[in-house]
Amino acid sequence: MRKVCIGILMMGVFVLQAQEHISVLESNPLLKTNQKQVQKMRTSSAVALPFLDDFSYNSYFPDNLLWEDSAVFVNRSYPINPVTIGVATFDGLDANGMAYDISASTQAQRADSLTSRAIDLSAVDSAYLLFYYQAEGLGDNPQTEDSLVLEFLSGIDPLGFPIWQHIWSIAGHSTQEFQRMEFNIKGVNYLHASFQFRFRNYATLSGNFDHWHIDYVKVDEYSTGQIPNLNDVAFVYENPQLLKRYREMPWVQYQENTAGELRDTLDIILRNNNAGLSVDYKYDVFESSSQVEHYPYLGNLSSTRNVQISVYDSIGNFEFVQPPVFLSDTIFKSGTTDSATFLFKNVIKTAPSDNKNNDTLTHFQKFNSHFAYDDGVAEFAYGINVQGAKMAYQFHLNKADSLRIIQIYFAPMQNNVSNIPFHLVVWEDNNGVPGNVLLKSNFVYPVYEDRVKFHNYYLDSIIGLDGTFYVGIEQTTNDMLNVGLDRNSPSNNYMFYNVGGGWNYSQFPGAWMIRPVLRTTPIISSTNSVIIQNEIKIFPNPFFNFTTVLLNNETKNIIQLFDISGRLLRKNVTTENRFQLFRNNLKSGIYLLQIQNKKGVFRKKLVIE
């Protein structure tokens, strides 16, 4: 729950200090996007023991073979150090990812529920329920007025309504390690063929507030005198970042400097929840259905690397350090020239009794035409409440290229800012910070795209770039524009903001969801010098059949013609001081002529009638 006095006080601090600000999201578009996921077919029969869900599957909704409702958010984004990869997150949003009541007060009210299907306990004398929970994680911390609750179904009242018995609850608090909870299930009220339990949370209903994360829920027979350990070795996080700097980058830029862009080693993290110590590991890389890489490098494609992993209580999470898991410079091999997608698959082989659901980790590494520091999922919204504030994101080219589009994801919020103008800005580099402005657009406006899509902002003109450059925003008001912030991909070394006193690194860990899109067509040389305009004459312009270019020098000139999208149409090299450009099959329209020689670069707009 958010207390009004605290919210006002914090707003005052941000205004006075003119600092950055992050906001809790008011919706979860991922749930709305995937609400029509194919669900597993279920029967009316009760679930047999053991009942087990560690939420390690690739779905945003709980398994409907095990659960009756789907209001919680199954994800890998919000937990810190989960028991196994994937959790069920409780918040103030409904099953469609929308606020239960956008106008609700800050008083904590019943929000999400996660209700088990009927579980058959008729054949056992005693059973147990085991689960782990964490407050906040990378989300919003629940206040003391908020809570997480566990209830057992104890019967049906005379009117046919279920009677739920309160078993346990915990008040909101700041994040900590996942806590293990154990409960005996006994007595005639519960040991029958249709036992059910449920979790509920109490939260602010006006947005993505007050997070609780549940992991590894298990119900089984209690027959040994104590509740057993999990006996499970599992992956903990999504596939680690394979590139040193980016999550995704253009294929042509990657190919230009493979060794410089690819990580040397892979930071695979495993957790041993009191299982056997011996674990085999391998990874495979596929393009389409063809395998292009296998680790370990020695042996056949089924070979594995064996490691000994002590239990979590002794060493914490296990990391491959002696030796590390190496990445070869050649793991991504493709015959394509402009884009490529690879399936990276991590697999561990554990004892037969180990839960196999969390033993395989897959990831698609994409190389298209854009740079991305973010993973495509926003946990918060970022903004600066200062008129004239600037956000600048640093990127680096391995070869000259041209910028045509800037993509931005704006998080939908109650304070809709789609009518607030701002400028798109591109800067050159000045010793590691933004320097001279290369382009400043006319007014543009935030656009909220459906299905967690970035909005494409097409630049007024193509920009030739080389080396380090920056893209970003200049505000015209003190309204926070709510750019998506990915908390799982800290990239603050490349994120700069300026509120009038110079450039500073962004202080909120994460990655802005801003992506430059390249045209893969260089229209600039590696020098910053410019040919003097009066050294070159073009006539006529506009023209119909041909135009003449007078160069007035005897050096080698590289003459290139581009369309307005940055696509190279013609290229000629001449040492003559007179050159004729013929229309031939070119359509009427606007084109860009670029002439490059040892003195620099000259550009001129051409019009064909």
Give the residue among 385, 296, 369 at the shortest CA–CA distance from 336.
369
- pTM value is 0.80
- Tell which phi-psi region holds residue 158, choosing left (phi > 0), alpha (psi between -120 and 50) or beta: alpha
At 81 the pLDDT is 96
Q: What is the pLDDT of residues 211-257, one digit of tens each?
A: 999 999 999 998 777 888 899 999 999 999 999 999 999 999 999 99
The answer on 250 and 302 residing in a single domain is yes
Tell me how many domains the chain contains: 4
* DSSP label of 399: S
CA dihedral 194, 48, 88, 356 (to 10 degrees): 180
User: DSSP for 146-161?
Assistant: -EEEEEEEEEE-TTS-
Q: How many angstroms separate the Cα of 76 from the Cα of each of 125, 232, 364, 453?
A: 36, 18, 16, 19
Q: Distance between CA 73 and CA 90 in Å, rounded?
A: 7
pLDDT tier at 118 (50, 70, 90 boundaries)?
A: very high
Can you give the CATH number for the domain in which 244 is found? 2.60.40
- Inside any domain, residue 395: yes
Q: Considering only CA atoms, which of 269, 249, 548, 239 is closest in space to residue 401?
A: 249
Question: Reduced to 3 states, what is the DSSP secondary structure of residue 428?
Answer: strand
Residues 424 and 447 in one domain: yes
Pair (511, 546) in one structural domain: no
Residue where a domain stops, chosen among 518, 541, 572:
518
Q: Where does the pLDDT of residue 40 fall: very low under 50, low under 70, confident under 90, or very high at 90 and above?
A: low
| Alpha-carbon Rg for the chain in angstroms | 29
- What the block records as the tokens of 114 is 């996660």
How far CA 168 is from CA of 23, 35, 150, 176, 546, in Å, comes to: 31, 31, 5, 19, 83
* Residues 473 and 441: beta-carbon distance below 8 Å: no
3-state secondary structure of 447: coil
Amino acid (one-letter) located at 229: N
Residue 41 confidence class, pLDDT cut points 50, 70, 90? low
Strands 147-156 vs 162-171: parallel, antiparallel or unpaired: antiparallel
% the chain with pLDDT above 70: 91
Query: Which among 33, 36, 37, 28 is positioned nearest to 98, based on CA atoms?
Result: 28
Do 479 and 554 reside in the same domain of the chain? no
Q: Closest by alpha carbon to 475, among 493, 452, 456, 500?
A: 500
CA angle 532, 536, 540 (to 5 degrees): 140
pLDDT for 223 equals 79
**Residue 373 resides in a domain:** no
**Does one domain contain both 455 and 558?**
no
Q: Which residues have a Cβ under 8 Å from the Cβ of 565 and sit 6 or more positions away?
A: 404, 462, 519
pLDDT for residue 414:
79
Looking at the domain assignment, is residue 540 inside a domain? yes
**Are 446 and 350 contained in the same domain?**
no
Strands (DSSP E) found in 422-482: 422-430, 433-440, 455-465, 468-475
DSSP string for 287-311: ETTEEEEEESSSS-TT--EEEE---
pLDDT recorded at residue 519:
77
For the chain, the average pLDDT equals 89
User: What Å distances lie between residue 42 and 37, 208, 348, 547, CA to CA?
Assistant: 15, 30, 30, 72
Is residue 360 predicted with pLDDT exceeding 70?
Answer: yes
The CATH code of the domain that includes 543 is: 2.60.40.3080
User: For position 466, which CATH number holds?
Assistant: 2.60.120
Range of the structural domain that residue 51 is part of: 34-228
CB 50 within 8 A of CB 219: yes
How far, CA to CA in Å, does 437 sit from each of 423, 470, 496?
A: 12, 9, 15
Residue type, 151: E
Q: Are residues 405 and 447 in the same domain?
A: yes
Task: Find, among 274, 239, 266, the residue nearest to 350 by Cα.
Answer: 274
407 inside domain: yes
Nearest by Cα to 256 from 115, 112, 435, 467 = 467
**pLDDT of 526 strictly over 80:** no
Are 222 and 91 members of one domain?
A: yes
In this prediction, residue 84 has a pLDDT band, given cuts at 50, 70 and 90, of very high
Tokens of 579: 């050159």
Residues 243, 223: one domain? no
Q: What mean pLDDT do residues 393-413 have?
A: 94
- Residue 28 burial (10 A CB sphere; 0-12, 13-18, 19+): buried
CA distance 246 to 244: 6
Average pLDDT over residues 194-210: 96
Q: Are strands 401-408 and 455-465 parallel, antiparallel or unpaired?
A: antiparallel
Residue 528 to residue 419: CA distance in whole angstroms: 37
- Is a pLDDT exceeding 60 seen at residue 524? no
Q: In what order do the strands lie in the sheet with 455-465?
A: 455-465, 401-408, 514-518
Mean of the pLDDT values across residues 454-463? 88
The residue with tokens 């050096």 is 555
Cα–Cα dist 503/190, whole Å: 63
> Is residue 449 included in any domain, yes or no?
yes
**Tokens 């299905």 found at:** 451
In a domain, 18, yes or no: no
The pLDDT score that the predictor gives to residue 566 is 66
Tokens at residue 514, please?
């801003």
Q: Are residues 499 and 587 in the same domain?
A: no
Q: Which one, of 376, 346, 184, 194, lies nearest residue 269 by Cα?
A: 346
Residue 560 pairs in a beta bridge with 571, 594
Q: Are 26 and 56 in contact (CB under 8 A)?
A: no
CB atoms within 10 A of CB 291: 12
- Of 100-104, 161-165, 301-305, highest mean pLDDT: 161-165
Task: Report pLDDT digits (tens) over 380-400.
Answer: 999 999 999 999 999 999 998
Q: Is 527 a member of any domain?
A: no
Verify that 350 and 498 share a domain, yes or no: no
* Residue finishing a domain among 518, 545, 567: 518
Angle at 470 between CA 565 and CA 480, to 5 degrees: 100
End residue of a domain, out of 367, 389, 410: 367
Whether 174 is covered by a domain: the verdict is yes
Between CA 471 and CA 397 the distance in angstroms is 13
Same domain for 282 and 208 = no
Quick one: tokens of 241? 């970042």
CA-closest candidate to residue 395, choices 380, 407, 384: 407
b/e 30-69 (16+ beta carbons within 10 angstroms → b): bbbeeeeeeeeeeeeebbebebbbbbbeebbbbbbebbee
168 contacts 149 by C-beta, under 8 angstroms: yes
